[in-house]
Amino acid sequence: MLDKRSDGNAEKQSKARVEKQSEAKAADLLNTDPNKGLTSDEAQERLARFGPNRLVERKPVTFVDIFLEEIREPLIVLLLIVAVFYSVFGKLIDTVTIVFVVIALVSAEVFNEYRAKKAIEALKKLSAPLAPVIRDGHPQEIPTEDIVPGDILIIRVGERIQADAYLVESYGLEVDESALTGESVPVPKSAKAKPPKGAPLGERTNEVFAGTVVTRGKGRAVVLATGMATELGHITGLVRESKEPKTPLQLAMRELSSYLIWVATAFSIFIPLVGIVQGRGLQEMILTGLSLAFATIPEEMPIIITMVLGLGALQLSRHNALVKRLKAAETLGSVTMIATDKTGTITENRMVLSHISADGMIDFKEGKVGRVATMLLEIGVLVNDAVLQKVNGMLNYVGDPMEVALIEAATKAGKDPQAIRNRFNTVEEFGFDSDIKLMTGVFALGGNRFVFTKGAPEAILSRSTNYETESGVMELTPSKKKEELEKVDMLASKGLRMLAFAYKKIGEGELVSREEAENNITYVGLAGFLDPPRHNVAEAVRETKEAGIRILMMTGDYAPTALAIARDVGISTDHDFITSDKLKSMSDSELQNAIKSMSVFARITPEDKLRIVNAAQLSGHVIAVTGDGINDAPALSQANIGIAMGETGTDVAREAADMVLTDDNFSTIEFAVRGGRKIFDNLRKGVRYYLAVKLGLILLFLLPILAGIALPFAPIQIIVLELFMDLGASAAFVAEPEAPDIMKRTPRKPSERFIDRPMLIAIFTGALVLFASVSFTYLIVLFNTGSTVVAQTTAFTTWIFTHIFLAFNMRSDKEPVLRLGLLSNKPMVIWAVSAIIVAVLVVTISVFHPALKLTFLTFGQWALAIGVAFISTLWMEVRKLLFRIAS
């Protein structure tokens, strides 16, 4: 029976509810096969019927909405007021021209903001988690929004439940429901539980709910409700999607803009007032003041910051670094330390069973094994969460790489993993516990029950009393334990990752607690797995260290294995490491000293990881930390940049992180740091140029107004120039390629001022260049011809060319433009060519002259404008060249 509940949209807010008389009826009443799930066609029909599985409707980013928002901005309204004044004091053609420029200017700014917001929206879509379900008879992962009532959810440790569902199968399942009930202790769940009808939420132990987190065990459940029809949806019915919070730099730029607005406004009032006192026309001075205000007030600066961060983050996402929060894009350039996991990040996360030690050491190449080794492989197949799943249209085992490697090794040894699993019946499962480093299952075979367990060698050996040999069971003496631990050290020193296996036979029907199951066990043997380093990690590590960034390896793996890999890729050059036990004995100050020289932290717990992060931050580091488990969430949240694994990470880790690596590769972290530095570089370049031309425009009006001569630009010309000034800063510098030395510099200190002394010098230098070149040509032509219109046209042309040359020059402080490549920044080339074409057209075609207050120029005047523009910036290129020769 399907019963719909609505909060205004019955089709999209419906809820599928069932009378829970038995665990079978839930699936039956929803017409779902609990083993095969829905078909794709059934799922599509239900998606259309019940709507997407989300709590709030996202308002799509549209060009029209942003245009309407922008057109209502006070400074755009100011420009429209200018048009009104022109219609009153001037001619109709002046008003038409201004309206045309307003539309062009707003459209350009809206397009840039649209690109940035679409980029951020795309990042949100990319970060949407996937949910494991059974469809068409096979496990597969689908977008959480596509979950529908009747889907069979696969429930796994560390994942967030994405819909309300009724359990049809469970093994040692516990769920954190604090998000719904406030109860901090995980709640045991069971498909066999039968709570009374109408039981409160916290007592419905045969159900799981959207927003809760699986802390232990696994299972399957049939979806009853999605989206706003879930219990979470009822609680948060009034919630609306939150906006991306402003980054510290965005806030700082907004504050700076507020300050600069007052400065620009003061000059926009001062210059016209002086002109009026001098007896200049009131109409002209009012229009000049309004035009100057519009052109010089830095209203676009916050948009520039958002654009560079948003588009830079989107570019990173295309290289497997998914930035979830814009603050991460900003902070990446300041990272001084990276604390990385080993498995899958430094290594390929592609385990191969290399050695087996089971009553004798064998190099596992041909797959030939004896009785004890066969027992080891069978335990490895049974105590194993890897599942047969359709991937790219083919059935493959998917899961933890070591567990997949065990299944592959069993197959190689001539065993059928599925037949082994079918031969044993699962009675109870105890999932992997990071504290005791064990994973255990209780299985039935005929009239017998067995405990099979696997885990860290020292954990297995410490709980074992006997060991298995080809001839039978023998007592595990202290000397034998020592011998086995020496084997572990020997194999681990070769970079192998070790697992030990054990078993225990218990009485039929006997129920055991986890503690009872995992003690007094019989040791079977060791398996050594080879997980080779990724081919490009060593180079990435080298470049990261050259950039002045410390790299720590923090892993729960066996210490010699971690050290071998760390030495192999260049993270560590010594033979020492710190384990959890040693770390716990250290004081905070001792730990802070240790991270200055020690690079490998092995066998550590998530609590240890959090402590290392805190110690690094207290030492002044900006630290990026990788993590994939539930318990990594505190360290990911505490880090300056939390980086979750996209392939192997849990939903909880991904939600706590600022960035997700979709390929779990350390090289992607190095690329992201490089990208973060590039983003910050381009921000500085764009803002530096933007402020230089704004200041240059103000300076241009000061000299003529104080000297009592005609102003260099007519008000309408100021408005036209504004269009190209903004486009240059907000569009061209976004696409600037990274500087050649970007990974040779030491990390930027977070305490450094964004606009520091060198940047201030560059801003004033650029402004003076614009002022000097335009003033020179303007005054020369004005005094030689006596024509204000000709002089203003020359000044207009000089400005266009000078600010183009200045933009190319400001692409780098040290590298000459020719070395960078004139065509290496294509958007800047397009902008420059467009500006030149516009300048040539409006000066050489008479139809534009009345509207823009321009006239024809002679060949000599063209040569003067272009020559002075070129020469005024050439000295900067010569200075860079001399600097390169000297260094």
Q: Which residues are catalytic?
A: 341
- CA 491 and chain centroid, separation: 37
The dihedrals phi and psi of 210, each to the nearest 5 degrees, come to -55, 140
Residue by residue, what is the 3-state secondary structure of 474-504?
A: EECCHHHHHHHHHHHHHHHCCCEEEEEEEEE
Task: Please provide the size of the chain in residues.
Answer: 887
The CA-based diameter of the chain, rounded to the nearest angstrom, is 114
Tell me the HSE value of 499 on the side-chain side, using a 13 A CA sphere: 27
Q: Apex CA 627: angle with CA 515 and CA 749, to 5°?
A: 140
Residue located via tokens 């096979």: 138
> How does strand 207-208 pair with strand 550-554?
unpaired
Phi/psi for 46 (5° steps) reads -70, -35
Could you give the CA distance from residue 162 to residue 415 in angstroms, rounded to a whole number?
Answer: 37
Contacts for 579 with CB less than 8 Å, ≥ 6 apart: 559, 601, 602, 603, 604
Which residue pairs from 783-790 have beta carbons closer than 8 angstroms and sit at least 24 positions apart in sequence? 787/855, 788/710, 789/853, 789/854, 789/855, 790/855, 790/857, 790/861
Cβ atoms 418, 388 nearer than 8 A:
yes
Residue 302 has, within 13 A of its CA and on its CB side, a CA count of 16
Contact of 174 with 217, CB cutoff 8 Å: yes
Distance CA 594, CA 590 (A): 6
How far does CA 865 lie from the centroid of its chain? 47
Do residues 55 and 233 make contact, with C-beta atoms less than 8 angstroms apart?
Answer: yes
Q: Quick one: CA torsion of 564, 566, 570, 572, rounded to 10 degrees? A: -100
The rounded distance, in Å, linking the Cα atoms of 173 and 158 is: 11
Task: Report how far residue 733's alpha carbon sits from residue 691's, in angstroms, rounded to the nearest whole number.
Answer: 13
Cα(801)–Cα(770) distance, rounded to whole angstroms?
Answer: 10
How many beta carbons lie within 10 A of that of residue 77, not counting itself? Answer: 11
Strands 337-340 vs 623-627: parallel, antiparallel or unpaired? parallel
